Amino acid sequence: MHMRTPEPATGSGPAALPPFKSEALDWDGLRFFLEVARTQRVSAAAIRLGVRHTTVSRRIHALEHELDTVLFDKSKSSGFTLTEDGQRLFTYAEQMEGTLLTARENLSGHAQTPAGHLRVGSTEGFGSYVLTPLMTDFQRRFPDITLDIMPVPRFISLSKREADIAIALERPQRGPYLCTKLIDYSLKLYGTRQYLDRGPDIATKADLARHSFIGYVEELLFSDRLRYLEDIVPASRVIFKSTSVVAQYHAVLQGLSLAILPCFIAAQDPRLQVVLDGEIMVTRSFWMYCHEDLRRSKRVMALWDFIKKAVPLNTPLLRGESSQLLYLPRAA
C-alpha cells in the first residue's frame, strides 16, 4: 500500500516559486541546497559533500540570488531552517534527485545486477539484533551493494534523506511513501535465574509489587508505543531507566531487577528467563516505508523484497517462541 500527501486545491503540485532570473537552474546548486536543508548546518553539509564550508555558503547565496528569494532563515541556535519558499523548492528538488538517482542506476549498466549504496534506518533493538545479521546475509547475495545500517532510539527522517528505507514502530501518517506493515512482535517480562532464585517468589501478577524494574525515561520516549510497563505493573518500582532498550537489556543481565524486553533480544540470550509466561505479553508492530519515487530503484526494491521475506521467516523469534534467528535459503 502507498500513501500520498493530499495535493493543493489549486493545482497538481507544490505552489509556484518566484520567477527565475535564468531559464534553467544549476542542479549542482540544488545538491548543495538539499544537504543544507537536511543537515541544517553549512559545516555538516560541507562534510557530506566533501567541500569547504565557504563553498557551500557561496552556492546557497548564488541559488538565492538566482531565484530572487530567501531559502533559509539563519540563526546560531537552530541553524539553517527552510523559509516558505525554501520548503517549496525542497519538494521540487527531492523529486528531481529521486529521478536522477533512478536514471543513473538504470543507465549505468547494472540494470540486471543491483549495485550502489543503501542506508537503512531502524529502531535500536530490532536494528541491532535482527536487521544487522540479516543485512550481512543480504550483502552476501548482492555484493555490489554497500550498506549503512542505522539502529537508533528515535524516528528516522526520510524527508531529510537520513535513510532510503526506514523501519519504525508507527505507520507514517502522511507523506509520499510506499509503506507496508512488516510484522508484529512480542515483549515479555524477563529476569536472570540468579535474580529469580534470590528474590520473592512470583506466582501471580500481584507478586510483582515486591520487585523492582528497569524501564524507559518516560519524558524522553520517542513513541507512545513504548509505554507498557505502567499498564502491566501500575505501581512498579523502577530503579533504572534508559532511553535505550539495549542498555535496559544489559542492565537486566546484572541480576538486580526485572524488565519488559522484546523477545527478539531476550529470547536469544539463555541467561534470561521469561516471568509469568502466557500471562504477561505486549504486542507491537513494525512498519517499513520508503519514498515513493524509490520504488523505481532496483537496488532499493531488492532490499525491500529481501526484508519482506527474511523478517516474517523469524516470526517465532519475534513472538518469543524460538531462540534462533533464521536466514533465507540460498535459493530465495
Per-residue pLDDT of the chain (332 residues; tens, 9 = 90+): 444 333 333 344 445 555 544 455 677 888 899 889 888 899 988 998 899 989 999 999 999 998 999 999 988 777 898 999 988 888 788 777 767 766 766 665 545 677 778 889 999 999 999 999 999 999 999 998 888 899 988 888 887 778 899 999 999 888 889 999 999 999 999 999 999 999 899 999 999 999 999 999 988 877 888 888 887 877 678 999 999 999 999 999 999 999 999 999 999 999 999 999 989 999 999 999 998 888 888 889 999 999 999 999 999 999 999 999 999 998 65
Residue 11's H or E segment, with its range, is none
241 and 135 within one domain: yes
Q: Which of 129, 178, 168, 127 is nearest to 148 (CA)?
A: 127
Residue 217 three-state SS: coil
Look at residue 330 and tell me if it is in a domain: no
Rounded Cα distance between 307 and 247, Å, is 26
93 and 69 within one domain: yes
Q: Which of 218, 238, 236 is nearest to 227 (CA)?
A: 218
Q: Which of 84, 106, 128 is the last residue of a domain?
A: 106
Decide the pairing of beta strands 145-152 and 212-215.
Answer: unpaired
Q: Is the whole model's pTM more than 0.75, yes or no?
A: no
Look at residue 40 and tell me if it is in a domain: yes
Q: Which of 53, 75, 106 is the last residue of a domain?
A: 106
pLDDT of residue 10: 38
- List of residues 6+ apart from 218 with CB closer than 8 A: 227, 241
46 and 152 within one domain: no
Print the domain residue range for 82. 16-106
Look at residue 9 and tell me if it is in a domain: no
The one-character DSSP state at 127 is: I
Residue 112 three-state SS: coil
27 and 62 within one domain: yes
Q: Which of 106, 133, 168 is the last residue of a domain?
A: 106
pLDDT of residue 25: 66
pLDDT of residue 38: 82
CB 190 within 8 A of CB 252: yes
Rounded Cα distance between 323 and 263, Å, is 9
pLDDT of residue 181: 96
Domain total of the chain: 2
243 and 119 within one domain: yes
Give CA angle at 96 (93, 98), nearest 5°. 110
190 and 59 within one domain: no
pLDDT of residue 107: 67
271 and 123 within one domain: yes
Checking 90-95 for CB contacts under 8 A at 24+ apart, the result is: 90/33, 90/34, 90/37, 91/13, 91/14, 92/14, 92/17, 93/30, 93/33, 93/34, 94/34, 94/159, 94/161, 94/291, 94/293, 95/293
227 and 129 within one domain: yes
CB 143 within 8 A of CB 149: no
pLDDT of residue 115: 78
35 and 146 within one domain: no
CATH code of 213's domain: 3.40.190.290
pLDDT of residue 105: 64
- List of residues 6+ apart from 47 with CB closer than 8 A: none
Indicate the residue type of 97: E
Look at residue 328 and tell me if it is in a domain: no
pLDDT of residue 3: 43
pLDDT of residue 223: 83
Look at residue 245 and tell me if it is in a domain: yes
Buried b (16+ CB within 10 A) or exposed e, 19-50: eeeeeebeeebbbbbbbbbbbbebebbbeebe
Rounded Cα distance between 67 and 83, Å, is 13
CA dihedral 279, 281, 282, 288 (to 10 degrees): -150
Is the four-CA dihedral 331, 151, 234, 201 of positive or negative sign?
A: positive
Look at residue 34 and tell me if it is in a domain: yes
pLDDT of residue 55: 93
221 and 188 within one domain: yes
89 and 20 within one domain: yes
CB 286 within 8 A of CB 185: yes
42 and 132 within one domain: no
Give helix then strand counts, H and E, for the chain. 12, 12
CATH code of 94's domain: 1.10.10.10
